Chain A
Amino acid sequence: MISLILILLASLFFTGIIIRTKSITSGRKGPGIFQPLKDIWRLFKKGSVYSKTTSFIFQVAPSIYIASILMAILVIPLGQYKGIISFEGDFVFFAYVLGTGKFFSIISAMDTGSSFEGMGASREALFSMFAEPAFFILIGSFALLTGHTSFQEIFASLHFGSYISYILGALATFVLVMMTMVENSRMPIDDPKTHLELTMVHEVMILDNSGFDLGMILYGTNLKFAMYGALIANLFMGSFPLYLTIPIFFVIQVLFAVTVGILESFTARFRMNHNAQYILALSSVSLLIFLGVLLVLKLVS
């Protein structure tokens, strides 16, 4: 319960901080941190335009998309405090329920019959396919390390002792940050601010959405950021009591948002046709973590 509230709170300012960081690094005055939220609120109040080629799928997809993200958030714990849903292997549910949302966002992009939106849809499907093994190997390594198979048990019994485990923590953070970028189609995978349909991933998929639906999709991005931020925060919580975990949670969320902002300000977007290889390389970083776990457990020497 507590994690749900915290993630919802974090989702309110997350993208705001990213935008603020970007404006500071580029020397602009920039909008306030609640500007993205105001934009979404404005969209919620607007009417909408539908393409005549679309069918019912286009109408229902944004609802399923945001519902899938909310369901995934319910699984996430806060250190030793369980999420609303917690069972053996809940991370499989986490990954697959997000998959359902993605499936619908892809086919709703195809539903418009546009010559651009399929392009983004194709990339989204390809990139998320390559990101999946990385996530599962990462969690598998943690399952091996801690001997548990649910998010809450894994995170509660995760603690850092040796040098190797610090490296593992750093690598895991790296994998999760990069996965966030892939899942949300941000730099260096995709540049959401580009104005060319041919080079976008997520933004080009939602060209035809408007009004309330677009608002939901944009808020979904905020939620996803906060959700992955919470996962990263969980890496460092262990079994601390509540008065420590809540500050840790917010500090890490803010740090994460600032990192994303800095990353977006100072990196260039990758070449689109090399993205897939890059994302697959994430799996090899996960494998490194796995080897590290083997070292920690002294299964190999």
Chain B
Amino acid sequence: MVIVTAFVVVIFLAIILVPFLSVTWKGIITVTTVTIIAIISSVIAFQSLIGKNFEYLFPGSPITGIVPVRIDALSGWFIAIINFTFLTGAFYGMQYMKAYRSQKSNLSLHCICFILLQASLISICSLQNMLAFLVAWEIMALSSFVLIIFEHHKRETLSAGINFLIQSHICIMFLTLAFIWVAMRMNSYDFKAIMLFSNSNSLLTGVALFLCFFFGFAIKAGFVPFHTWLPYAHPAAPSHISGIMSGVIIKIGIYGIMRMLLLIKTDYLVIGYILLFVSIVSGIYGVMLAIIQHNLKRLLAYHSIENIGIIGIGIGLGCIGIGKGNHLLTLLGFAGALLHILNHSLFKSLLFYGAGNVYQSTHTMDIEKLGGLGKSMPHTSFLFLIAALAICGLPPFNGFVSEFLIYNGMFTGLKVSDQALILPIVFGIFGLALIGGLAMLCFTKAFGSIFSGTLRHNFQHAPGEADFGKLIPMYAVFILITAIGLFPKIFITALSEPIKLFTHYPDDYIPADGLSITATMSMIGLCSGAFLGLTGLIFFLRKRIMSNKPQTVNVTWGCGYVAPTGKMQYTASSFVRAYRKLAEPVFSIHKKKKEIRGVFPKSGGQETHPYDKLEGWFIDYPLQQLRKFLSRFIFLQNGNLQFYILYGVAFITLVLVIPFAYDYIKAVIKFLNQL
């Protein structure tokens, strides 16, 4: 009770306070509020992670019924992730927003929405009443919309924001539909009604209900083909918002899917196959498109789709495990997925913060113009490198641990040689291996062309390192990334409660599989540590041996050419050219080429604009058709005031006449029914 009240009071106080403060204090109050909310909710979250569930019932209203606040281990895990990302995001954002100090009212709105967003995300994880859930979901959608369009004087930012707003509402539409379906039959808004509903209906109904929820949540999570808002919204938002959006907002879609898996009792095998298929496609498609992007933040946005795919593969495997009664597969699948949710929120937010630093020091996100920032921004480049290694799933960092769990799950599934498992799993292994390789191609391109070599473009101000305030939250994320990589056992143990929800072990039963997993995990930590140690040792030896040998500094080998410029470096586009040529059939790339011709050649150039083929099919084409259809009715909107008054009169007449004609209409309907 006290905790819930404190939570609400703090938020209200902060929101009322923020508009009346000076710019500096706005930031301080926001950060303090975020910290307080984080502490309050984390206390409950951590308790639920050790098995003490939290339940509080709001009396609610006659319309909503009782509004239960239930925090179990699954909610706890998500709340903990949300809080950490918001903490780093708030501290980073406070420094990042210093560049916009003059926009006072805009900043107030930004701060308020920031607090609201955190509060709504936590509420979504804990509210278990359908109406309250939808309200919280709507607050989340609206506040993130306001956060995205911070730079609303830019046209593309605004259109990206509106795109996001519309797609969020399509997502809400699906959710509302599913909720109405359940509430109509069960006469209750409590989430428990969903469980009762699926228990009392056939498996097929359960699958249909799950799919209805899945479509809604998949739009938020960014599964292909529902991903099209992501690559617009991420580059448009300020960097700390992009980090939070990629880190936790899209994960709330995953939370929804996992919550529904817990509630809907249905044919898990079918759901597992569907999830696995959609996820593998998302993973491969996301990273394939990421590689050819020129805008750094857009590239990272496509990578979020890829990582959602990896998480989905884990969840899909887990579902197949439940369906087949294979405990180890369930355990590994869900452990991999849940850990990857945490991991992705860490390295993706770190990457976005890094991108933010680059943006504020160079004012461009075009990879082709950047280069050689490693020397002027050593800290940012180091942190970006670590995050890039982690996102590629390379040891000794955290991405490897969760991908390893998922791989291990798949190979465990193969081991039992069950025909129903073999084909999807081989498809999964192929997909995950390909995703890993493609991610490496993508991030060697991104890191190599942004931070290595020399500058490709003359900036008015020489790019410099971000100030200390921005680097501290980034280093905090870095520490956690390394900690998960080196001591994965701790985090797997912390996950045992959320996983138990899915595996349905009896309380006193300690699975032998679980023990072997923790043993393997500590082995991985050990190996990663050994790898770091060995590298350090070799580097140290090299240094000792080389200390008494002559070392000279000279120009890069240029095949005999002695006056190379920054523009002669291998560019990002040429780095991925071979790949682009191979994968061209999948993409639609608009190319503009101006060849150098003639005896006295003028300037030449080539432009490529990658576009998303699926967006063309699923968004542009239907919109075009809709516009075509609606344009037939354009005569109604003819600009004549008289006509508009006529429409008004016609409407009012209709409204007045219908009650009079009620009996006739009823008779007609009755007649139709009899037919």
Contact = CB atoms under 8 A, between A and B. Distances in A.
Contacts of A239: none
A119 B471 CA distance: 33
A208 B578 contact: no
Nearest to A46: B549
Contact of B372 (A64, A93, A113, A122): A113
27 contacts: A48-B552, A49-B553, A50-B551, A52-B555, A52-B556, A67-B538, A68-B531, A71-B527, A87-B524, A92-B403, A92-B404, A96-B404, A106-B440, A110-B444, A113-B556, A113-B566, A114-B557, A114-B570, A115-B564, A121-B575, A122-B574, A129-B441, A143-B414, A143-B415, A144-B417, A208-B557, A299-B419
A118 to B, nearest CB: 2
B559 interface: yes
Given A55-B374, A67-B531, A88 B520 contact: yes
Interface of A: 44-57, 60, 62-64, 66-68, 70-71, 74, 85, 87-89, 92-93, 96-97, 99-100, 102-103, 106-107, 109-119, 121-123, 125-126, 128-133, 135-137, 139-140, 143-144, 147-149, 197, 207-208, 211-213, 216, 273, 276-277, 283, 287, 290, 294, 297, 299
B582 interface: yes
B411 A197 contact: no
A52 B549 contact: no
B552 A112 contact: no
Contact of B551 (A48, A88, A197, A299): A48
Given A110-B449, A122-B578, A128-B437, 12 more contacts: A47-B546, A48-B546, A49-B553, A53-B454, A57-B374, A96-B400, A107-B452, A113-B556, A114-B557, A119-B570, A126-B441, A212-B549
B22 to A, nearest CB: 41
A92 B408 contact: yes
A112 to B, nearest CB: 5
B413 to A, nearest CB: 10
Interface in B521-562: 523-524, 527, 530-531, 534-535, 538-539, 542, 545-546, 549-559
Contact of A96 (B395, B519, B539, B558): B395
Contact of B436 (A46, A89, A96, A122): A96
A10 to B, nearest CB: 20
Contact of A53 (B394, B453, B531): B453
Nearest to A45: B549
Contacts of B542: 62-63, 212-213, 216
A113 B448 contact: no
Nearest to B404: A92
B556 A125 contact: no
B393 interface: yes
B375 interface: yes
A101 B495 CA distance: 31
Nearest to B566: A113
A119 B575 CA distance: 7
B contact face: mostly helix, strand, loop, or mixed? helix
A149 B437 contact: no
A149 B415 CA distance: 8
B214 interface: no
Contacts of A140: 410-411, 414, 425-426, 429
Given A87-B520, A97-B531, A276 B422 contact: no
B523 A208 contact: no
Contact of A144 (B422, B448, B523, B527): B422
Given A137-B430, A207-B557, A103 B411 contact: no
Given A106-B448, A140-B429, A122 B417 contact: no
Contacts of A71: 527, 530-531, 534
A93 B408 contact: no
Contacts of B378: 56
Given A96-B436, A99-B440, A116 B535 contact: no
Contacts of B444: 103, 106-107, 110, 121, 125
A132 B436 contact: yes
- Highest count of chain A CB atoms <10 Å: which of B374, B410, B414: B414
Contacts of A125: 440-441, 444-445, 575
B404 A116 contact: no
B61 interface: no
A126 B578 contact: yes
Contacts of A47: 546, 549-552
Given A132-B433, A132-B437, A211-B549, A53 B556 contact: yes
Given A137-B429, A149-B408, A118 B448 contact: yes
A89 B394 contact: no
B647 interface: no
B63 interface: no
A60 B537 CA distance: 12
